[in-house]
Amino acid sequence: MKFAAVLLLLLAVPGVAKPLVVATTEDLASIATAIAGDELAVDFLAPGSANTHAIELKPSYAMKLVKARAVIRMGLGLDNWVLSLIDNARNRALVPGAPGHIDASEGCSILDVPTDAVDRSMGDVHPFGNPHYLLDPANGLVVARNLSQRFSALFPASEAAFRRNLAAFEVAYEAKQQEWGPMVAQLRGVKVVTYHRMWGYFARFSGIDPVAEIEPKPGIPPTASHTRQVIDLMRAQAVKLIVRSPFYESKTPESMAAQTGAKVVTLAPQVGALPEVTDYWAMFDINLRRLVGAQGG
The stretch among 6-14, 215-223, 263-271, 289-297 that binds Zn ion (CB under 5 A) is 215-223
Stretch of 108-116, 150-158, 213-221, 223-231 contacting Zn ion, by CB under 5 A: 213-221
Burial of 20 (0-12, 13-18, 19+ CB in 10 A): middle
From 33-41, 43-51, 212-220, 273-281, span contacting Zn ion (CB under 5 A) = 212-220
Helices and strands in the chain, H and E counts: 10, 8
Q: Is 97 helix (H, G, I), strand (E, B) or coil?
A: coil
Kindly state the DSSP code that residue 278 receives in the 8-state scheme. -
CB of 74 to Zn ion, least distance (A): 10
- DSSP SS3 for 68: coil
Instruction: Check if the beta carbon of residue 40 is closer than 8 Å to that of residue 23.
Output: no
Looking at beta carbons only, is 52 or 149 nearer to Zn ion?
Answer: 52
β-sheet bridge partners, residue 265: 243
Nearer to Zn ion, 69 or 244 (CB): 244
Q: Rank residues 77 and 207 by Cβ distance to Zn ion and give the closer one.
A: 77
Distances (CA, A) of 287 to 26, 180, 203, 247, 261: 17, 11, 12, 16, 21
Binding mask 240-279 for Zn ion (x = CB under 5 A): ----------------------------------------
Q: Which stretch binds Zn ion (CB under 5 A): 26-34, 157-165, 214-222, 281-289?
A: 214-222
Binding residues for Zn ion, rule CB under 5 A, total: 1
Site residues for Zn ion per CB under 5 A: 218
